[in-house]
Structure 1
Amino acid sequence: MRATLLALATASFSLFAFSTASAQAVANGTFETWATRSMVEVPQSWTTVDEVFKGSFGILYSTVTTSKDASSHAGSFAAKMESKTDNFASALLGGPVPGGVVLGRVTPEEALDILDNQEVGSAGGLPFTTRAANLQFYYKLTGANATADSAYALVSLTRTVNGNSQTIAAGAVRLLPAAAYTLSNVPLQYRSSLTPDSIHIGFISGVAATRTVGTTLFVDDVVMTGVVAATKNPVLEASLTLYPNPSPNGEFRLASPSKPAVATAPYTITDATGHVVRTAEATPASLANGRPLELRGLPAGMYMLQLSTPEGPLTRKLLIP
């Protein structure tokens, strides 16, 4: 079935090329600007699942799974991605067509690879040269079977070396249902000390083998945040003490007597799915010997703390057993 889809798509699909601190802009990350391509409306600088199918199969594909929506987090529009049945494509995919957007222009094979592997590093992409720490965005996810449908946010930074694309960093988060706009953070895991030359981002309403009609993902205000140094600063790493860890009751403390601005820096804490569960502004230097960090009431599991120190980001894993 996959081979049939690719053979049909390749025969009719042609590629187009796109001629882009703290927060680093993503091209049209606010989804305010839309254009018509392949007879469907799409966010500028992004490709939708509909555009891939429509550009490949023309009138055989008649469904709109991705659209601009006025129920935005900020500004006028958000991207709305809804899993729907299409008379033509659903038979090829073996179920509903998920809504999805990918930064840059995407081929049918790349789109199917995202569904199969939840990896976006070889799909689309636009110029980007910052070693960013996180992908950050606001989203809503609704639908009776949204959890099982497995909506995903995907990000990858790459660089072409000797004609071959090399992954510099990547991250992915399976999104949990959220009735109201929720801030999500996807930390990037670095595999190389090189500087990237491209960024790849994708959002999709469901990658499960069996998807459900009606699962709907809204995404808005997509940015990259933080900067990761090519090599870790061992003095900075050694300056922070975190205790107790694990913490059975969710109460932790941060200490950095030698560098007071580290333990007292602003921070963000995310859970294993990328949900931001706590944020805090900088505190007085007097707390550098034992700043309280409060996670009481949260479920047991692993959490990620990221401190925005004057010397760069510093991360620690927090465990509530």
Structure 2
Amino acid sequence: MPNNKRRLPAVDEDEVSQPVEELENEGYGDDVNDDDNDVKLLFTQEAPEFSESFVEPLEKEVARASELPAAVKSKLVNDMLRYFILKGLGKEFIEKKKAVDDVMGEYKKEKIASVILDEATKKLKALYGWSVMQVPNFMQGSIPTKFKGRMYIVNNPEGDEEGDQADLLHRRFDSGQNGLLIFLLMVIYNKGVIRSDTRNVLKWCSEEVLYKAMNDVDGTISSEPKRGGGSEIFGLNSDVESLIARFVDQDYLIKDKVKVDDDSSGVHYTLGPRSALEVGRKQLVYLTANILGEQEPDPTMLLELDEESDEEEEE
């Protein structure tokens, strides 16, 4: 996972008003491909998973922030905005404490971090259509504790008109690798099994099942993992093992190892928070139905997900 230690310079209002054009020349990711047929990372035909937004700052925090010189407050907001952009482009998760430590500096003691985070989040949405999202509700308490408190920069799931700039940024990813990711998510969701230690909401799939499924579709992919990395797969510009490791680093997948009594590796995978936020289980249900040639997916599967979402929003 990228570890960007670049110093975050202050930026003026005019500097962030057209951030996409500025970033074009800074060498983030691959070159932008303006082909209208370019495959995007985000799939928005169906709603992704529900996630609560940031908690609004307290009135006393807003009052303290208002006492700062306007130029100082503006600098902090824009520095946090740039921090979000860098994390988004690097597909890195965000930890609130680290974000505050990295950006606020000496102003951390003013106890106005929630105000700066809130304003930077709203500005990110207004300028790019990007949202700062927490781990989806249905995953809470079902995934390893290291994910607690993580947040992600995702394209606007509501499809607002401001999404054009974010869409341009999201084109900086290889479509073949995106296709592999979606295939893995579909295999996990359709062939995975519920584990009793995850509140009966997550489906886990063994790596043996994943590799067999990939081999069934493309015989050049080994039916079992090559420890240490295998051969580069045509069209993916990488070997499968490295790509899966990257998906784990970026929280698209969660990897876990359990004790087993047979010859299997005990390595299991499930959907990660970023996949839930950018793709969602409903999307996977529809994609599976499309591949199987069905006009509509099983309505009982959709009903279960809709009922789950209603319960989450009520909570």
TM-score by length of 2: 0.24
Give the number of the structure whose residues are more often helix, by fraction.
Answer: 2
Greater RCO, 1 or 2 (C-alpha within 8 Å, sep 6+): 2
Give the number of the structure whose residues are more often strand, by fraction.
Answer: 1
